[in-house]
Chain A
Amino acid sequence: MTASTASPARFRPGSTAKVGLLTIIASEIFFFATALSAYFFLRLEHPEWSLPAQTPTGLLVPSLNTLLFLASALVIWQAQRAIAADRRRAAQMALGLTFVLGLIFIGGQVFDFSQSGLKPDDAAFGGIFMALIAFHALHVLAGMIYLGITFARARLGDFSADRHTSITLCAWFWYFVVAVWLALFGALYLV
């Protein structure tokens, strides 16, 4: 029996949860990919959907919102760095700030939508546009719920330099929702 004394990577703490989250993210990437494909498929049949003329409120609000959202990704990255160096308060604050930025992003989306005059039963364009934004917003909200819980646990002192899997998972999910937004922003507003 030649059992190795070094634990294989699959047995390291937190690794199962990480593999689990990556698998979930892989699935969700395909969800957005198929939804975006639906958008492009409909667009192929409608050359009159020319952007940015079709964009409801112009590019200003969505662009600012996007920059803000990108910033939130940088902030949560700081949270990861902070906890890895055992700077617990800094990590807590970064998590909290990310949450707030997420909230502002959602607010920005809601505002942009209410200004656009688009309705879901307005021909296919209204429907697919709103559907994509709504599916994404739901994922952001899920991320924010996880963020909120993680923030609370950080305040309770659950995390340290050696044990902070949840912060890592939270950050990875956040990077995912930001990346999806970049893709959506590009597809809906820029291309």
Chain B
Amino acid sequence: MTTQAEALSAPQVAAGSGQGLLSWVMTVDHKRIGIMYLITATVFFVAGGILALLMRTQLAQPNATVLSNAAYNEIFTMHGTTMIFLAIMPLGAGFGNYFVPLMIGARDMAFPKLNALSYWLYLFGGLFLFSSFVFGGAPDAGWFAYAPLTEKLYSINHGMDYWGLSVLMLGTATTIGSINFVVTTIQLRAPGMSFTRMPMFVWMTFVTSVIAIFALPSLTTATLLLLLDRLVGTHFYNVSAGGSALLWQHLFWFFGHPEVYIMILPAMGLISEVIPVFSRKPLFGFMTVVYSGIAIGILGFTVWAHHMFATGMAIGALLFFSANSFIIGVPTGVKIFSWLATMWGGKLNFKTPLLFAIGFVALFTIGGLDGVHMAVLPVDWQITDTYYVVSHIHYVLFGGAIFGLFSAMFYWFPKMSGRRLSETLGKWQFWLMFVGMNLTFFPMHMLGLLGMPRRIYTYADGLGWGIWNLIETVGAYLVALGILFFLINFFRTMASPPTNEADPWDAFTLEWKAASPPAPYNFAEIPSVRSRRPLWDEKYPDKADWKQGE
């Protein structure tokens, strides 16, 4: 009687695994697609960062003239759109693409060709968006593109058309990718790997993908209606013809809030892999962390109007959203405690992956506590739409998601390339980024409290805002220096000969069983598992998890 495991064991070489540019263009191998996502997303991240430096240079002093108001508006719009759709989400998708099949013991994603399509749609969507700088002007109404400002009457040039069409392409790429992750996770897990034995990164990618499947359609609807208004002459958001200005906000934020969990959950999954390995202990309270991720996914759909507290909705409705916004803080806090408890009693090995993971925990705590402030409806009436929010979003997205992604980058670089990134350069990068980001984003709390609104290209002298802005600009340049260290690290490492260590960190999960880099077919024989840490079980059989009943 043949088991499924034996039937699958004949290696099948994935298409596009040879050498040369054409093999990369034609590839459907999840590892190559993952690398393409990571490289493309890093390039867009650097572009988004340069846009940020331009903004910070303009804001360093009151009444500065580094950028005109029109240029500033294009830049902040492109910064937000780039970081969210072209950097953070694809970095998560890149790691997901590369590692989800490996971690579940599969040979590839469920739909390899669809996988390639997602990537190329993403690349094309991103390039199309950036081409707007050259062809008539970039979008300039914010990444959140509120109507009616985005209607043709108020945004005459084609920038918002580029935005809308790109968003549709990128949204489609995300939806296709999410469908792929969901089906892969459900269908292709190795024998013995029940849902409760999947690695946390796979779990979080799964939850993220389910969220995306339900959230992206709202953005599609909103954007289609906007494009119809702009290009066909309908009146969905045009108040004078029966449309509604608030309709956009509801549709957008119904997507927009789950979107932030789409950005953070994969990073939470990533550090949930790194912290155990570098503490030499399993993740504390695994199922509680899983349930908290699911709770965040579900609750994420019930809080959207906390982005609309100042719109004048009925107080009862606003309090409903306020309540849910408080509740969603609980599962998030649970994760922080779990990571702390994982490190507690462990033997911490302070390599760069762990440094970034610790940075995540420290910085995300601040960002999360900011969020609690904003859930307080009457306080939000003062701090929403100010730099307080800018502080919050960057603590969670930069201190959180980006730090988590860099943690994964250093952790998994040996697996992808057969070489370890330099620890020395990595530590320099970490400290520059950690100090720099705090200098940049902490004073923004003060600015928000002192009355500085968001999305302004300049501000008056004498309001007490100048000094904080100047400090923030210095911090931004420090962060940029840190990123530069990363780029230098990357190129130097790739230029050095590979060491091909399969398991440099003495890790716990299946991807470290494959070679570094893995063969095109990943595993010669599909492994079967008995616990959450199959490699730990193999290497430390007397301490195996399945022997403890885990």
Q: Could you tell me if B218 and A3 are in contact, using CB atoms closer than 8 angstroms?
A: no
- Could you tell me if B221 and A46 are in contact, using CB atoms closer than 8 angstroms? no
Q: Is B383 an interface residue (CB 8 A)?
A: no
Q: How far is the CA of A1 from the CA of B538 in the complex (A)?
A: 12
- Please determine whether B213 and A27 come into contact, CB atoms closer than 8 angstroms: yes
A183 to chain B, nearest CB (A): 15
Contact with A along B174-198 (1 / 0, CB 8 A): 0100010011001111011000000
Contacts of B238 in A (CB 8 A): 124
The total number of A-B Cβ pairs within 8 Å is 116
Select A34's contact among B110, B218, B233, B235, beta carbons within 8 Å.
B218
Interface string of B339-353 (1 = CB under 8 A from A): 000000000000000
| Complex-state Cα separation, A52 to B217, whole angstroms | 29
Q: Is the CB of B242 within 8 A of A3?
A: no
Interface assignment of B228: CB less than 8 Å from any CB of chain A: yes
Neighbouring B residues of A11 by C-beta, 8 Å: 4, 187
0/1 per residue, B206-238, Cβ < 8 Å to A? 000000011111101110110011001111101
Q: What band does the interface of chain A fall in when counting residues whose beta carbon is under 8 Å from B?
A: 35 or more
- Please determine whether A38 and B217 come into contact, CB atoms closer than 8 angstroms: no
Contact A10 B187 (CB under 8 A): yes
Tell me the minimal C-beta distance from B357 to chain A in angstroms: 31
In A132-191, which residues have CB < 8 Å from any B CB? 135
- Assess whether B186 is in contact with A10, with CB atoms less than 8 Å apart: yes
Interface residues of A in 1-55 (CB under 8 A from B): 1-5, 7-8, 10-11, 15-16, 19-20, 23-24, 26-28, 30-31, 33-35, 37-38, 41-42, 45-46
Is there contact, CB below 8 Å, between A42 and B214?
Answer: no
Let me know if B373 is at the binding interface, CB within 8 A.
no
A120 near B: Cβ within 8 Å?
Answer: yes
B378 sits at the interface (CB 8 A) = no
Cβ-closest chain A residue relative to B527: A1
Residues B186 and A124 in contact, CB atoms below 8 Å apart: no
Q: Decide yes or no: A34 and B175 within 8 Å by CB, A15-B187, A26-B213, A124-B238 being known contacts.
A: no
In the complex, B247 has a CB within 8 A of chain A: yes
| A20 close to B247 (CB less than 8 A) | no
A127 with B235: CB separation less than 8 A: yes
- Choose among A19, A30, A123 the residue that contacts B217 (Cβ–Cβ < 8 A): A30
The answer to whether residues A38 and B192 also contact, given A15-B187, A30-B218, A31-B220 and a CB cut-off of 8 A, is: no
Q: Are B110 and A16 in contact (CB under 8 A)?
A: yes
| Bound Cα distance A28, B221 (Å) | 11
**Across-interface contacts of B236 in A (CB, < 8 A):** 38, 42, 124, 127-128, 131
- CB neighbours (8 Å) of A123 from chain B are 235, 241-242
Contact, CB under 8 Å: A5 / B233: no
The answer to whether B218 touches A120 (Cβ under 8 A) is no
Minimal Cβ-Cβ distance residue in B for A4: B191
Docked CA distance A120–B549 (Å): 63
User: Is residue A125 within 8 Å, beta carbon to beta carbon, of the partner chain?
Assistant: yes
**Cβ–Cβ contact A26 & B247, under 8 A:** no
In the complex with contacts A38-B236, A124-B241, A7-B213 CB distance below 8 A: no
A residues near B228, Cβ cutoff 8 Å: 120, 127, 131
B251 at the interface (CB under 8 A from A): yes
Determine how close the nearest CB of chain A comes to the CB of B460; give it in whole angstroms: 38
Decide yes or no: A46 and B3 within 8 Å by CB, A16-B183, A131-B225 being known contacts. Answer: no
Indicate if B244 sits at the interface (CB-CB under 8 A).
yes
B111 within 8 A of A: yes
Given A27-B179, A31-B220, A34-B217, does the pair A125, B110 have CB atoms closer than 8 Å? no
Please name the residue on chain B nearest to A27 by beta carbon.
B213
The minimal Cβ–Cβ distance linking A119 to chain B, given in whole angstroms, is 9
Q: Is the CB of B242 within 8 A of A38?
A: no
Option from B192, B243, B254 in Cβ contact (under 8 Å) with A3? B192
Give A176 Cβ to nearest chain B Cβ, in Å.
Answer: 14
Q: How far is the CA of A120 from the CA of B222 in the complex (A)?
A: 16
Judge whether B379 is part of the interface by a CB distance below 8 angstroms: no
Any A CB within 8 A of the CB of B528:
yes
Complexed CA–CA distance, A2 and B191 (Å): 9
**A38 CA to B237 CA, complexed, in Å:** 11
| Minimal Cβ-Cβ distance residue in A for B234 | A127
Which of A's residues lie within 8 Å of B, judged by CB?
1-5, 7-8, 10-11, 15-16, 19-20, 23-24, 26-28, 30-31, 33-35, 37-38, 41-42, 45-46, 120-121, 123-128, 131, 135
A-B contact list, 9 entries, CB within 8 Å? A3-B5, A3-B191, A10-B188, A16-B187, A19-B186, A38-B225, A38-B236, A121-B233, A124-B242
Supplied contacts A3-B528, A126-B234, 13 more A-B pairs, CB within 8 Å? A4-B3, A10-B189, A16-B183, A20-B110, A20-B111, A23-B182, A30-B215, A34-B222, A41-B247, A46-B242, A120-B228, A124-B235, A125-B242
Interface residues of B (CB under 8 A from A): 1, 3-5, 110-111, 175, 179, 182-183, 186-189, 191-192, 213-218, 220-222, 224-225, 228-229, 232-236, 238, 241-244, 247, 250-251, 254, 528, 530
